[in-house]
Homo-oligomer: A and B are copies of this chain.
Amino acid sequence: MRRFVADKVKTLINRSRTTCSSSSPITTSTSALQRLTSSSSQSPAVLRFLSTSSDSMASDYSSTPVTLNNVNPKVLKCEYAVRGEIVNLAQKLQQDLKENPGSHTFDEILYCNIGNPQSLAQQPITFFREVLALCDHPLILDKSETQGLFSADSIERAFQILDQIPGRATGAYSHSQGIKGLRDTIASGIEARDGFPADPNDIFLTDGASPAVHMMMQLLIGSENDGILCPIPQYPLYSASIALHGGTLVPYYLDEETGWGLEVSELENQLKTAKSKGINVRALAVINPGNPTGQVLAEANQREIVEFCKKEGLVLLADEVYQENVYVPEKQFHSFKKVARSMGFGEKDISLVSFQSVSKGFYGECGKRGGYMEVTGFSPEIREQIYKVASVNLCSNISGQILASLVMSPPKVGDESYESFAAEKEGILSSLARRAKTLEDAFRSLEGVTCNKAEGAMYLFPRINLPDKAIKAAEEAKTAPDAFYARRLLNATGIVVVPGSGFGQRPGTWHFRCTILPQEEKIPAIVSRLTEFHKQFMDEFRG
């Protein structure tokens, strides 16, 4: 039976070979199947299928109709390392610790794999939560006790928002793009940020940024001949979404030597290579500030990127979810729309989609699943198609919609909540900056490790120069060297990071992504556990 399953996987691999040139640099580069065809590493995901498909299990389900052989092959190709194998192991260890306290050398699992601030004890912004609670239960708005529990401006804001919702019905489906009044607020917030007009009809409110990215991929990808230029390393939502929609990820490598710089010459080269292989490149995805790489693009660089998209007829997909996460005084966030408009490109000159989320910034409201995309430079016919796709899911959740409007229109000087709001915001952002610096310094002090500066976003992406002996040990363990390191780190310290191979990296280089989000008081202990582990690891594997 084990052979039976292995044969099925082999069939899938062959199938995938017939549709994709596996030697090409232009591939859905994180594909489990394609990686399995290379000699250097086996996909953990596929290995997991093989190892869990014991005789008994496979036969148990032998009369059910869905198998690895007939499931959508695009689903098999998709990978999402941020919640992959290492996280599964972490959950297992956490269960161990719960059932047998003291069974490991650490007493908690530190999830540094994902930008999920509130899971690491970051507190929500009070004003935002006050308004959400009042909108959830408007019956209490007029009660006298409410005055004692909620700030005056949160009550006022809740009334304003409810007045924007037909019938004050926060439990009704909204317009497919989101509640019009909230989109007005968001458009005003964009105008205030950019100094250029924004149209509420360009805003599509979504359940976080991910569904918005999927929506654009769905629009642009009709077949594997449609390519999307994506940074390497990249946030694997992009590779996953491209794989699920059956397109081709056209990689462009960020330059680690120049702080993960984005070179237009690299874009040009990769575009040319892709075209020569018959790929119709439709869009350029840019993540700014960078994930996992933490760089903040300079405005001059952004202008070059806009010029490139204009010249080559590419849609610019601007992932700007970390727009409020900039930690160095010498850098500033500029939206691509502001840059394009300041260059004189208007609505009809360039197709540009900006993604924003309530999950990041200083608020970190991941669980609320709020976000939007601002869609500019598409003809009415195409807009109608985007609207139709949005309509099929009816609307995004109303609390997330409300939160997206709050994020783009927080309390102002003079509002009752302003001072506490500003203090909460400043407290979180300055702490994030300190944590980034401490962790950056710690990584840099490790033998054989270099580390980018965290200018923005929520991550460090240190590079590990692994000894040959460690690489050989990883090969023997049938895993990628960076996954081998991450697994060892987790088992020794309880710290969960994501191997660089989940994001893509230049062949022969090894990294991992670590968030800057653990509580500040825990950072010294983390640094010492990390440092001790690394020393032991190097002692074990140094040549």
A-side residues, CB < 8 A to B, are 5, 45, 48-49, 52-53, 57-58, 60-61, 63-68, 70-76, 78-80, 82-83, 114, 116-121, 124, 126, 129-130, 132-134, 136-137, 139-140, 143, 145-146, 148-150, 166-167, 169-174, 176, 207-208, 210-211, 214, 218-222, 226, 237, 240-241, 244-245, 280, 282, 313-315, 348-351, 359, 364-369, 377-382, 384-385, 388-389, 391-400
Contacts and interface: CB of A to CB of B under 8 A. Distances in A.
6 contacts: A61-B378, A65-B315, A68-B385, A133-B137, A210-B393, A368-B398
A71 B315 contact: no
A296 B130 CA distance: 42
A270 to B, nearest CB: 18
Contact of A73 (B45, B75, B222): B222
A32 to B, nearest CB: 10
The 7 A-B pairs of least Cβ separation, nearest first, read A61-B379, A133-B137, A119-B172, A367-B398, A369-B397, A145-B145, A118-B171
Contacts of A124: 171
A129 B226 CA distance: 46
Nearest to A245: B72
Given A119-B173, A364-B171, A64 B397 contact: no
A64 B380 contact: no
Contact of A57 (B117, B166, B380): B380
A226 B74 CA distance: 14
Contact of A367 (B146, B148, B174): B174
Contacts of A350: 64
Contacts of A133: 133-134, 136-137, 140
Contacts of A220: 66, 71-72
Contacts of A48: 384
B385 A397 contact: no
Contacts of A219: 66, 71-72, 75
Count of this chain's copies in the oligomeric assembly = 2
A58 B280 CA distance: 23
A150 B63 CA distance: 51
Interface centre among A129, A171, A350 (most CB of B within 10 A): A171
Contacts of A149: 140, 143, 145-146, 149
B393 A171 contact: no
A88 B395 CA distance: 16
A170 B367 contact: yes
Contacts of A240: 392
A367 B172 contact: yes
A299 to B, nearest CB: 24
Contacts of A245: 72
Nearest to A94: B166
A207 B400 CA distance: 11
Given A61-B380, A65-B282, A172-B367, 16 more contacts: A49-B384, A52-B380, A63-B349, A66-B378, A72-B218, A83-B394, A117-B172, A129-B136, A136-B399, A170-B367, A172-B366, A207-B393, A210-B394, A367-B398, A368-B397, A369-B397
Contacts of A367: 169-174, 395, 397-398
Contacts of A222: 70-74
Given A83-B391, A348-B61, A368-B398, A385 B76 contact: yes
Contacts of A392: 78, 80, 210, 237, 240-241, 244
A146 B226 CA distance: 56
Nearest to A363: B171
A65 B210 contact: no
Nearest to A114: B173
Contacts of A214: 393
Contacts of A143: 148-149
A78 B393 CA distance: 13
Contacts of A129: 136-137, 139
